[in-house]
A and B are shown apart, each in its own frame.
Chain A
Amino acid sequence: MNDNGILQGDFFIDGDTACAEAAICAGCRFFGGYPITPATEIAERMARRLPQVGGTYIQMEDEIASIAAVLGASWAGQRAMTATSGPGFSLMMENLGLGIITETPCVLVNVQRAGPSTGMPTLAGQGDMMQARWGSHGPYEIIALAPSSPQELFDLTIRAFNLAERYRTPVLVMTDEAVGHMTERVVIPPSEEIKHYPRRKPQVPPSDGYLPYNPDPDGVPPMACAGEGYRIHVTGLTHNEKGYPATVSVETQRKLVERLIRKIRDNRDDIVELHEDQVQGADVVVVAYGISARTAARPVRVAREMGLKVGLLKLVTVWPFAENRIQELASQVKAFVVPEINMGQIALEVERCAGGKAQTILVPHAGGGLHDPDDVLEAIMRVSRWNREPETQNSKPET
């Protein structure tokens, strides 16, 4: 440990612990949370570690309060985080929306377990991916990252904090029980090597007509926090550039919502991170994220050994969706195979972007475990086969 209480070096730790350490490296000094399997270890680690670096941990009365406190702490100038799992994620949807409309940078980690409802608390799921996208009411855009190892959970947690500040928005880290509870080597680089995107502060003094929601050219407004003399007004109501409610102005609503969406959509090139493995020239591309991308790597390798041209496209950023890349690939490949630990969520998005130019085959899993690699292999082989035999191409395969 360094003098400043920040870890550095090689560690054999689980994903949840790596996530907490990443938050500390990223400058997070506030955690408000509520115990829930399989995310509890993040709270436990933060409770121990935050006081060592001058931060504050508080266990709130529920997940609604947890995210509300995180938003408050962010407006007090802190980098703030909470971590939960499905049931808590559901409760957080309300204030996730408040974070989005008030443009509050913060990080929300969802260590997904199998649902619906209480489901299987100790076992993995990826069933909250669409909830991450659409779970809070109203139109919005969201950033969600999906790590597939403790090291990646570490790296993406840091990235989440930076994206949150860069785009002034809550950022979701959509991990799962398998990654959260998996122990592997995690390399924590020296603090000076960790990039920090600083909070975008107003360039004008308080007296000089600062407009809290007047954006910079990239659509993101600089942020004055409470106590800095700007006397800001922040509301969850539709508001104008001054931050004042304009609840019957359709024009204000249109401008606000369009900007909230465009500040993310227009910067997709910066936000969307993909890992591609032999995607170029492939007949079949497996599109996967999180733990399922690891599971898929094995059948992809086996299929290649059998002479099939199979690529693996890992969505490191799930939201915003890699629309352009999927559209591009759709006219080059014959089919996409999408294994995910749910009954079809991201597969729908892939199918939408494929636009009928390539087939999309879902390999579902109801939750509570990882895919049997053979199931993914079988799907790859099946689509490879009917793509090779033109006469069967017209028969739409069952998905």
Chain B
Amino acid sequence: MNRHEIRFSGFGGQGIITSGYILGKAAALYDGRHVTLIKSYGPESRGGASSAQVIISDEEINYPRVTKPELLVAMSQEAYAKYVDELADGGLLLIDKDLVELNHPRDDIRVCAIPATRIAESELGRKIVANIVMLGFLAANSEVVPVEGIREAVLSSIPKGTEELNTRALERGYAYEIQYLQEAANA
């Protein structure tokens, strides 16, 4: 089955929808795949629950909803609580280490806790690129979309003048993979 289901989740203002858009665009325009992105959010412009469902497939996508994602990105406690159970067996959960406490343990999934917001704020100086840091880490951990496509999609989706910041955020997230593995090995 070549249908890949991914969910990004968090709260409004974290760039959740943008993350889904960038990943989807990378797959659709730079990797020639079929992609469906569905955005959902509450009536609030900021602070409400926010989620992006991305389906990537080599075949035409009919049913457009994510039902058993293989990859879940949760950037808030509520998002984690709401979606962790739908993650497929053997799926990958990426959480923001400082924002999500793993209080629904599942032993059939792989979990990576990344301090994306902290990295964005302290190393890159802008909290707003936490989503791109997370995307970089995702690119290093998933083979669904090649990182080159994600880089192109980032550059063609962000406001002019923020290219350098976003490129650094993406690279930092991607590189964090190695650091993460080392830390995990040491732990």
Contacts and interface: CB of A to CB of B under 8 A. Distances in A.
- The interface centre, meaning the residue of A12, A181, A182, A291 with most chain B CB atoms within 10 A of its CB, is A12
- The interface centre, meaning the residue of B24, B29, B38, B64 with most chain A CB atoms within 10 A of its CB, is B64
Main secondary structure of the interface of B (DSSP, over half): mixed
Which range contains the number of B residues in contact with the other chain?
A: 20 to 34
Contact of A12 (B28, B38, B39, B61): B28
A184 B63 contact: no
Interface stretch (A63-71, A213-221, A293-301): A293-301
A94 to B, nearest CB: 29
B25 interface: yes
A10 B28 CA distance: 9
- The interface centre, meaning the residue of A184, A291, A298, A373 with most chain B CB atoms within 10 A of its CB, is A184
B28 A370 contact: no
A43 to B, nearest CB: 17
- The interface centre, meaning the residue of A14, A294, A298, A370 with most chain B CB atoms within 10 A of its CB, is A294
B54 to A, nearest CB: 9
B65 A184 contact: no
A185 B61 CA distance: 12
B75 interface: no
Nearest to B21: A183
Interface in B33-86: 34-43, 61-65
A122 interface: yes
Contacts of A301: 62
A178 interface: yes
A182 B62 CA distance: 12
B61 to A, nearest CB: 8
A122 B50 CA distance: 13
A181 B21 CA distance: 12
Contact of B62 (A10, A178, A184, A295): A295
B24 to A, nearest CB: 6
A297 B63 contact: yes
A14 B28 CA distance: 13
Given A184-B34, A294-B64, 15 more contacts: A10-B28, A12-B21, A12-B28, A12-B35, A12-B37, A178-B64, A181-B39, A183-B39, A185-B29, A185-B34, A291-B64, A295-B62, A297-B63, A298-B62, A301-B62
- The interface centre, meaning the residue of A185, A298, A373 with most chain B CB atoms within 10 A of its CB, is A185
B90 to A, nearest CB: 23
Interface of B: 21, 24-25, 28-29, 34-43, 61-65
Contact of B63 (A12, A185, A298): A298
A299 to B, nearest CB: 9
Contacts of B34: 184-185
27 contacts: A10-B28, A12-B25, A12-B28, A12-B35, A14-B37, A122-B41, A178-B64, A181-B38, A183-B21, A183-B35, A183-B36, A184-B28, A184-B35, A184-B37, A184-B61, A185-B34, A291-B64, A294-B62, A294-B63, A295-B62, A297-B63, A298-B62, A298-B63, A370-B63, A370-B64, A370-B65, A373-B63
Contacts of A373: 63
Interface residues of A, number: 20
Nearest to B33: A185
B28 to A, nearest CB: 4
A10 B29 contact: yes
Given A122-B43, A184-B35, A184-B37, A12 B24 contact: yes
A121 B35 CA distance: 25
A275 to B, nearest CB: 12
Contacts of B36: 182-184
A11 B29 CA distance: 7
A123 to B, nearest CB: 9
A39 to B, nearest CB: 15
B60 to A, nearest CB: 9
Nearest to B156: A12
Contacts of B25: 12
A182 B64 contact: yes
A373 to B, nearest CB: 6
